[in-house]
Structure formats: structure tokens, C-alpha cells
Chains A and B, each alone.
Chain A
């Protein structure tokens, strides 16, 4: 167990160090989410009456597409530089390697969320509070686990950019439904925040366990 944690930490650290030095992904994702918000701001007739209704939808749309890019790159980069095979040809458990990749990709998405949430509050005039941040962070855990699993599956096929959304988006719907409800309540709409958060935590546990079990079969061909 300790060894698996050490391996997951080393893999995540390696990915985050590479991103810090190359700055390939996060600046591009940051720009993407800000542009998405600007377009949404012009596209919808936003006023104080409808902002709290429209903003959660815009948030999840931006987050889902940023997530697809972040998780897709997690394994695509390894395949392109032919380094995934070297990593898998060690006795390291596949689940630990997968966990490290998912943690790194999730943290990159969190960095993107650090731009998205304040920008959303600024442009739509919606509240920016701990309940909103917690809902998005909790949803990110399960989305990262699923996104990375499918990214690992499609990394070896040529049409991965098309396949990844097709496989991932349907399974992200529970996070968008429960997360959307939690975000709406956090922005002032009526409803049960705790119920939505409990559902998000349940989905997180379910998909983290399932993807950890499946990782072995996906990575070790």
C-alpha cells in the first residue's frame, strides 16, 4: 500500500513538474474557459434575474470541455513520447500508475477552475462562495477518474479526439446533474445542497473504485 502511494505520488509529481516546466496545458485551458465565459456572456441576455439560472450551465459546459482536453492529454502525451510502455514495463502496479495520472490531471483541472470560478462571478455577477468551490472540487474527483480511464483506453487509437468525448460524456452526466444542482443552490436557487453533495460523493466513491479496478486491464495489455 505504501509503495502504491509512493508510485502514485511519483507519477503525479512527474506530470506536474513536466507541466510546470513546459506550461503546455494550463495556460491554454485558462484562456479557453475565459473565452467560453466571454462568448456565453455575449450569447445570452444576462441580467440579474436569470444569471443564477444560466451561470451553472455555462460553468459545467466550460468545465466539461476543459476536462476532456486535460484528461485526454494525460495519456496522449505519454503515448506520443513512447514513455508509457517504459513505465508499464516495470513491476509498478497499474492502479498506482493510473491513480498518479488521474491525480495530476485532476490538479491541472483544479488550476483551470481557479480561473473559471472567479471569472464566472465577475462576468455573470453570481456569488463566489465555499459551497460553490466545494461542489466543483468534489465533482472533479469522479470526473478525473472516469476521464483518465477513457483517456487511457483511447490513447492507442488514431481517432482518440473523437472517441474520448463519445465515451466520457455519457458517464459524466450524473456529475453534471448532481453538480449542477449543488452549484445552483450555492448560487442562491432553492433546493437541497446537502443531498446533491451526498450524491456527488457517492458517485466519486463508485467511480474511483471501479476505475481503479479497471485500470489494470486497460493499462496492462
Chain B
């Protein structure tokens, strides 16, 4: 069973076509990079894959389930890092994660483990709005992996991360299927086995990292 099978995903906003009949396949455990200029459709594609948006047309299966009909069931298996960290500024890093433990119905004992994984143990009790932008991004990544998802959908997760960012991403992606949108070709090559390039909402095709480098 594939992790993702997407067929002719199309997203229109009025007369604008943000995503134009994009096909995509991702095997379990595979990492796919999505590259493209600003406005190419990367975020739109990732929001659909994370079940945060419904495509105008097309078909999407995630772990064999219809992503349009089984959204609630799939959300327990997907971790999404969006453009904005989306944290609660008046709650501490620990409180932010504990809140999401309740929503995911998982034990709060997982929180210290995740904070250690994303390197935030030292600032565990600091309010989210007192964290640096990079620390906020680490916390958002921690929230995405909190419930042990099988699929990670990461929209430019390297934004604001320091030099330890690639290692962090490699560690959270290990053993999971992942789709990673980035502008950093070197990061895509390091973390992903395959790459798809988008331009003006259309897929220019997927290839191995070697082909993209050339």
C-alpha cells in the first residue's frame, strides 16, 4: 500500500489555478521533496495532502483511505508543519504540547521526550511568544510529531532553523513517509529520495535527486 496516491489534484481560487492536475505517488517510508518558485503551488499541494484544504477536483488516497471522506481518521496519521508555527503565545512550550496531547488523546508523558527531540528542553517552561523564531519552528515540528504520525507534511520547515535544522529534520523524518516543500535544493537532496518540481501550479515531473542537481 502506498503512502500517497494523488491523481489530477486541481485547486482553483476563483479564476486563478493554484494547482493544475498534479499527479503524485509516495511509497511508505519514502521522502519526497517539492521544489518550486514562490507561487508555484507548493503550499497549496501540501495543505491538500495534510487534509487542511479540499481540492477543487482530483482524487487523493493516503494509506489506502480516501482523503476527502476519511479526513478525521487520517489526521491521526498525519503530522503537518505549516508556514506559520500556529502556537499559543501565552502558553509555554510544554503547555502547547500538552494541549495537543489532549486533542490527540495521547499520554502527556510524551511531551518531555518530544521537547528533547527538537532541542527545547532548556526552554520547556518559556512562553511561546518569548521563544526565538527558530525555537518556535522547532516547537511546531515537535507538535507535528507528537502523536507519532506515519506521514509528515512539512511546508518549508527549514525556515528560521539554525545550522542544526537539517539534522533535526532528518531525525524526525526517519522511519516515516514525508513530503517536504523547500527552496533549499541541498536540503532536498540530503533528506529526500525523490523530488517533484512545480511551476505555475503544474508538475514538471518527479525525479531522483541526481537528475534535479543536473
Contacts and interface: CB of A to CB of B under 8 A. Distances in A.
Interface of A: 3, 6-7, 10, 14, 17-18, 21-22, 81-92, 97, 220-221
B40 interface: no
24 contacts: A7-B103, A17-B95, A81-B84, A81-B87, A81-B88, A82-B82, A83-B87, A83-B88, A84-B86, A85-B52, A86-B80, A86-B86, A86-B143, A87-B103, A89-B50, A89-B51, A89-B78, A90-B75, A90-B76, A90-B103, A90-B104, A90-B147, A91-B72, A221-B53
Contact of B103 (A21, A92, A220): A92
A221 B54 contact: yes
A29 B102 CA distance: 30
A18 B143 CA distance: 19
A14 B105 contact: no
Contacts of B87: 81, 83
* Main secondary structure on A side of the interface with B: helix
Contact of B75 (A6, A91, A97, A221): A91
B91 A3 contact: no
Interface residues of B, number: 32
A1 B123 CA distance: 35
Contact of A90 (B73, B83, B90, B100): B100
Contacts of A10: 99, 102-103
* Main secondary structure on B side of the interface with A: loop
A151 to B, nearest CB: 18
B88 A14 contact: yes
B82 A86 contact: yes
B190 interface: no
Contact of B88 (A18, A89, A220, A221): A18
A70 B104 CA distance: 28
B85 interface: yes
B55 to A, nearest CB: 13
Contact of A82 (B53, B85, B127): B85
Interface in B76-117: 76, 78, 80, 82-91, 95, 99-100, 102-105
Given A87-B103, A89-B50, A17 B90 contact: yes
Interface string B52-81: 111000000000000000011101101010
Contacts of B89: 18, 81
Contacts of B85: 82
Interface in B1-30: none
B58 to A, nearest CB: 17
